[in-house]
Structure 1
Amino acid sequence: MSKKIKIYIPLIIGAAIGIGVFIGGRLNFTDTSDRLFTTNSKKDKLNRLIDYIDYEYVEEVNTDSIVDVTVNGILDNLDPHSIYIPKKDLERVTNNMRGDFVGIGINYYPYKDTLAVIRPTEGGPSKRAGLKGGDRILMADGDTIYGEKFNTDIIAKKLKGKKGTKVRLKVYRPSTKEFLDIDVKRGNIPIKSVEAAYMLNNFLGYIKMNRFAESSYKEFKSALDKLQDQGATKLVFDLRDNPGGFLGIAEEIADEFLEDDKLILFTKNKKGKRQNAYATSRGDFEEGEVFVLINESSASASEVVAGALQDNDKGVIVGRRSYGKGLVQREMALGDGSAVRLTVARYYTPTGRSIQKPYENGKNKSYFRDYYKRMSNGELLNSENIEIEDSLKFTTPKGKVVYGGGGIIPDVFVPIDKSVENETINYLKRAGHFGYFVFEELDKNRAIYDGVSKRDFIDNFSVSDDIVLAFQKYVNRVEGTNINFVAFNTTIKVFIKATLARQLYDDNAYEEIINRNDIMIDEVLTLSEEESFLEVTN
C-alpha cells in the first residue's frame, strides 16, 4: 500500500464519522427516507430561539414554561378544541377519561383544617374497611395530615398508591367520640359516567350520563339491562350538560337504539377521506322508544348520539339547541409526559349535517360566550328565536326537516326554567355551598337519619323554612353578603333535600329528587303517554 493511501485513510474515516454524526443528529425514526437530508426551517427557528434563551439570555429563565406558552400560542390559532395538556395535568385528565383511578374511595370535604368523609364510595375499599360519613382522617401511615400540615395535594398523594397496597388511617369519629385505626387496601375507584338510572313510572326508564369515557358504554349497558328487567319499554336518556368524550363510545351507545346497518355518522379528514360508522346487530333497545334530553351544554359525543337518532327517525330529541361541536380530536404524546389533543377530522350526522358552530381561526372569546348570546337573543326561552340557515336544511328518510350549522335543534323545545337556572342558584351550586352546609347540618346529629330508608326519605322528607333560613345565614357568613332567599325558597328546599339524599344515600337519590321538579322531565312524561305524537314525529 502506498504512503499516500495510508495518509488519506484516517481522513476518510474521520469525514465518514462526521457525516454520520450530522445525519444521526437529524434522524427521526418516524421520518421517511426522502426527508432525512432535508431541513425544516420552521422547526429550526423555534429550536434556535429556545436555545438562545436557554444559554445566552441575561437572566435564568424556565424554558419549559416558554415551550408551554409556545405550544398554546400555536394551538390558539387553529380551532377552539385543539388543546395542550401539560405533564402535570395529564394523569388527572387520563384517569377522568379512563373512568377509574387507584385510591381508597371517599367523597370528602376539607372541613376547617381536617379531611372529613362525606360518604365512602359504595362498594369501595373505605366502605369495606368501615369508614363512615362524618369521620375525620387525622393520619395516614403515621404522618399527620391535619392542622398546619393540611394540604389536599399532599393528602391525595398519601391516600393514592399502587393497587393492593394498604394505608393505615387514624380516624376520629365524632358520633361516638372514638379514635380508630383503620387499614384500607387501595383499589380501583370508578369515576362514574352514569349518574342515575331508575324508573320514572312502570314503563319509562331514566338514565343520566355525564360524559363518554372508556367505561361509559359498560355502565350504560348495565343500567339499561336493569331497567329493562324492571319493565322499561321506553327510555329517557339525559345528556344535558354532557360535554362529550370518546367518539367510539358514542357510536356504541347509539348502536343500542339503531337497527342493523343504519349509518351512525361519518367523518372526513384533511384529505377528504370519508369513514362511515354503522350500527351492528347487537342493539338491545331497537324496539324501544327513546327520548334524548339535550341543552346548550350538550356537546360533541352527546351530539353524535342525538344526531344519529334524529337523522334515523328514531325517538324524540327534547330540550334546547345543543352546543355545536362537530370536530374530532386525537390525543398525541409530545414525548415529555405532556400531550396535545389535535383536531384531525370533522364528523357529520347521517343526513350529511355538520353541526359545528361557526368560528374564526383560533379560540376567540365570542365562541365560548355563545351561551350569553343565546340568552340575550331569547333563544333559551323561545324556539322561534333560534337562528336557522335555510341553506343548511336536510331531510330525514321519513321527511322530517333538520338543520346543520351549529348544534342539534330538538324536535320538542323546552324553555329554560328561570326559577332553577339563574345566576344566584348556579353560583350557590358552583361554590359548593349546598354540599358544605348540608355536611355541617348532618354533622350536628347524623343519628336522626338512622333507620330512614332511601325511599322513605325521597317520598316523605320535607325541608323546613328554618333550614332555609339557616342556609341563608350560612351563605351570608361565608360570602360576607346580605342575600335574602325568599324568592328562591322552593328551589333551595329542593337542592338542600337532594344534597342531603346524596350525602346520606347516593347520586341516584339526588337526581330523583331534582327530577321531580324538572319541567323537561314533565314534558317527556306527557309525551310518553301520547302514542299519536310519536307516530307523527317518527
Structure 2
Amino acid sequence: MKKKYAYIIPTLLAAALALGIFVGGKLHFNDTPEKLFTTNSKKDKLNRLIDYIDYEYVDEIDTDSIVDVTVNNILEKLDPHSVYIPKQEMSKVSESMKGDFVGIGVTFYTYRDSIAVIKTIADGPSAKKGIMAGDRILAAGKDTLFGKDLNNTDIVGKLKGKKGSSVRLQVYRKSEDRHFATTVKRDIVPIKSVISTFMLTDDIGYIKVDRFAESTFVEFKRALSALQKQGAQKLALDLRDNPGGYLGIAEKMADEFLTDGKLILFTKNKKGQVNEVYATKKGSFEGKPVYVLINERSASASEIIAGALQDNDIGTIVGRRSFGKGLVQREMELGDGSAVRLTVSRYYTPTGRSIQKSYKKGNKDYYKKFVERYRNGELASVDSIKVADSLKFTTPKGKIVYGGGGIIPDEFVPIGSNEEEFIDVLDSQGVISYFIFGHLDSDRERYAEYSRAEFLNDFTVDDILFEQFAAYCVQQNYSLDYYEYEARIKMYLKATLAEQLFDTNAYAKIKSDGDNMLQKVKELDDPSSIPFAIENEEMQR
C-alpha cells in the first residue's frame, strides 16, 4: 500500500507467531548447562563452528544473526508452528498476548508528514488531557515527530515508556488552527481482544473475539454479562479470523457453555501422557443456544471451542472449515531475551479427533494447502470438502463429525464473490479507514451534531462521498466496478465513519446487516427469515 498507517495499540503482531495455541507459562531452567545438556557431538559441532567464525573468519560477521538463522532452520524442520521469537520482537509479541501495554493511549496514522490521532482510548492518558481525534502530535519531549522520514517503530518507542513516566507533547489542532502543549502521564492501556459486543436481535447477543490473550476471558465474561442484562438468551460467538492464543483461556471459555463433567479436550505428548480437561459448574451460559462463527482463518484455540461444543452436541457451528491446527506450543526462554515456542503436545476434541492437517511435506506445502481450498471450490460449496472416511467420528447424539484439516461447520456459509472479498480486503488493509480519516479531517464538524444512536439509525452515506471514495481507489490503482457494489461500499463507508467517530461496536453493528454468516444465524434462529435462505440456496446451486 502506498499510504502509511500505524497503531500505537498493537493488534495481532507477527501473525505467524500468534497462529497457534501455547501453554500459559514460560519455562525457566535453573540447572547449569552441564546438567541440562550433556556433552553431545552434534551440539559441540555447532558451538565450534560459531567460535571458528567468531575468531578466525576473514571478515567481521554478526554471529548473532547466524545463530538466529540456524535456530529458524532447525525449527522449520520440526513443524509449521514451532517458532523462534528474536529478542527485538519479544516485547511486541508479549504485549499482544498479555492484553495491555504502557503508553499514552491513542491510535494514529502517519498521515502525510505528521502523526495524526485517529482516536483516543476512552479514559486513557491522552483523553484525560483533552487530546482529540484529528490532532497532530508534533513532538514528544525533545523528539520531533513530523517529516518525510517518519518510522512507525521509532514513533511508538518515543510515545511508550514506563508506567507513571511523563512526556511533554506538542500538539496542533487543525479544527481550531492552534498549537498547544500538554504533559501526559503514561499508564497501562488495554489491548482489547473482545473487539465487538452488541445485540444482534432482541434476544441474540453478539461477541467478536480476535485472539485468546491473558485478558480475553475477563473481557468475554464482562461482555457476556452486559448482553445478558440487555436480554440476551442466545449468543453468536464470532471466532472468524481468530488465529488462537492461550490454551487455558480457550478452556475457560468453552466451560461457559458446557455442563459440569463434560470433556472439553485432551492433550497427548510424545511420552503418551494424556491430560484431560473437563467442564466445571462455573458456566454462566449453559443450556442456552449458541452459534459459533468460524472460517478458514480460525485456528487453534478457536477450533478448540468449536470442536468442544460440536462434539458435545452443544450449539451450532456456522461458516466454513477452520484452519486445521491441533498442536500445542510452550514458550521457552533462551537466556538472551529471545524465546522459542516449541510444540510439546497434540490436542484432541472430545470424540478423539485431531484436526491438525498434515505437514509431512514441509512448511511451504502446509500453507499452500490453504490456497488450494480456494482453488478447489470448498470455500464456495460444502460438497467440495473432501475428508477420508477413516477420519469419521460420532458425537453422543449420533452426529457425524470429521478429523483432519479443521472443524467442518454444521451450517455452511459460502465465501462472497471475488468483488465482495476485494471490498473486504480494502477494509482489512486500512484503505477505507485511511480515506475516511482524510474525509473527517477536512470536515469533522459536519458530524458533530450526531449522537451515536442518531448516526446508526439516521445517517446515510451520500453519492458525493461514495464517488470521492471510488475516485480515491482509482488513483491508488484499485480496480473494481464500484457502481455495481455501491450499496455494499456505502455500508462499509458508514461503518468506518462510525468506528472513527464512536467505537468498534458501532462499526460491527452496521456491517452486520451485510454479513452473510450473521444473516444465517438469524435464519437458523427464525426460519421465517426466508429471503436470505433462498438467496443462499441459489448461490450454492
1:39-188 equivalences under 5 Å are 39-147=39-147, 150-188=150-188
The corresponding residue for 1:408 is 407
Deviation at 1:480, TM superposition (A): 4.8
The RMSD of aligned alpha carbons is 1.8
Deviation at 1:463, TM superposition (A): 1.5
3-state SS of paired residue (1:123) = coil
Distance 1:493 1:459 in 2: 15
Q: Which has the larger radius of gyration?
A: 1
1:8-23 equivalences under 5 Å are none
Structure 1 residues 441 and 204, CA gap change in structure 2 (3 angstroms): same
Query: Does the Cα contact within 8 Å between 1:211 and 1:244 map onto a contact in 2?
Result: yes
Give 5+ residue unaligned stretches, structure 1.
1-26, 532-538
1:124-157 superposed Cα distances (whole Å, 9 cap, x missing partner): 1111111111000011124322125633222212
Structure 1 residues 481 and 275, CA gap change in structure 2 (3 angstroms): closer
**TM-score, length basis structure 2:** 0.89
1:451-470 equivalences under 5 Å are 451-470=449-468
Which of 512, 515, 519 lines up with 1:515 in the alignment? 512
Structure 1 residues 162 and 404, CA gap change in structure 2 (3 angstroms): same
3-state SS of paired residue (1:325) = coil
Distance 1:427 1:223 in 2: 28
Tell me which moved more, 272-281 or 138-147: 138-147
Deviation at 1:494, TM superposition (A): 1.6
The corresponding residue for 2:14 is none
Tell me which moved more, 512-521 or 140-149: 140-149
1:282-327 superposed Cα distances (whole Å, 9 cap, x missing partner): 1000021100001111000000000000001110101111100000
Distance 1:259 1:79 in 2: 35
Q: Which structure would you say has the larger RCO, counting Cα contacts within 8 Å and 6 or more residues apart?
A: 2
The corresponding residue for 1:24 is none
Amino acid at match of 2:328: V
Query: Does the Cα contact within 8 Å between 1:250 and 1:302 map onto a contact in 2?
Result: yes
1:69-468 equivalences under 5 Å are 69-147=69-147, 150-360=150-360, 362-363=362-363, 365-418=364-417, 421-422=420-421, 424-468=422-466
Query: Does the Cα contact within 8 Å between 1:420 and 1:491 map onto a contact in 2?
Result: no
1:495 correspondence with 2:492: yes
3-state SS of paired residue (1:487) = coil
3-state SS of paired residue (1:205) = strand
Structure 1 residues 148 and 529, CA gap change in structure 2 (3 angstroms): closer
Deviation at 1:31, TM superposition (A): 6.3
**TM-score, length basis structure 1:** 0.90
Deviation at 1:420, TM superposition (A): 6.2
Deviation at 1:361, TM superposition (A): 5.3
The corresponding residue for 1:29 is 31
3-state SS of paired residue (1:42) = helix
3-state SS of paired residue (2:118) = strand
Query: Does the Cα contact within 8 Å between 1:472 and 1:484 map onto a contact in 2?
Result: no
Deviation at 1:244, TM superposition (A): 0.6
Distance 1:55 1:255 in 2: 57
Deviation at 1:526, TM superposition (A): 1.4
The corresponding residue for 1:12 is none
3-state SS of paired residue (1:139) = strand
Structure 1 residues 482 and 410, CA gap change in structure 2 (3 angstroms): closer
3-state SS of paired residue (1:147) = coil
Distance 2:80 2:91 in 1: 22
1:458-492 superposed Cα distances (whole Å, 9 cap, x missing partner): 22211122222211222233x35676523332222
Query: Does the Cα contact within 8 Å between 2:419 and 2:480 map onto a contact in 1?
Result: no
1:506 correspondence with 2:508: no
Distance 2:406 2:483 in 1: 37
Amino acid at match of 2:40: N
Structure 1 residues 149 and 173, CA gap change in structure 2 (3 angstroms): same
Structure 1 residues 482 and 383, CA gap change in structure 2 (3 angstroms): closer
Structure 1 residues 483 and 386, CA gap change in structure 2 (3 angstroms): closer
Distance 1:497 1:367 in 2: 38
3-state SS of paired residue (1:245) = strand
Distance 1:225 1:253 in 2: 13
Tell me which moved more, 142-151 or 310-319: 142-151
Amino acid at match of 1:439: F
Structure 1 residues 201 and 339, CA gap change in structure 2 (3 angstroms): same
Distance 1:157 1:482 in 2: 37
Query: Does the Cα contact within 8 Å between 1:75 and 1:362 map onto a contact in 2?
Result: no
1:185-241 superposed Cα distances (whole Å, 9 cap, x missing partner): 111111111111111121110000000000000000000000011111100000011
Give 5+ residue unaligned stretches, structure 2.
1-28, 529-541
Deviation at 1:105, TM superposition (A): 0.7
Amino acid at match of 2:432: F
Deviation at 1:497, TM superposition (A): 1.1
Structure 1 residues 28 and 463, CA gap change in structure 2 (3 angstroms): closer
Identical-pair percentage: 57
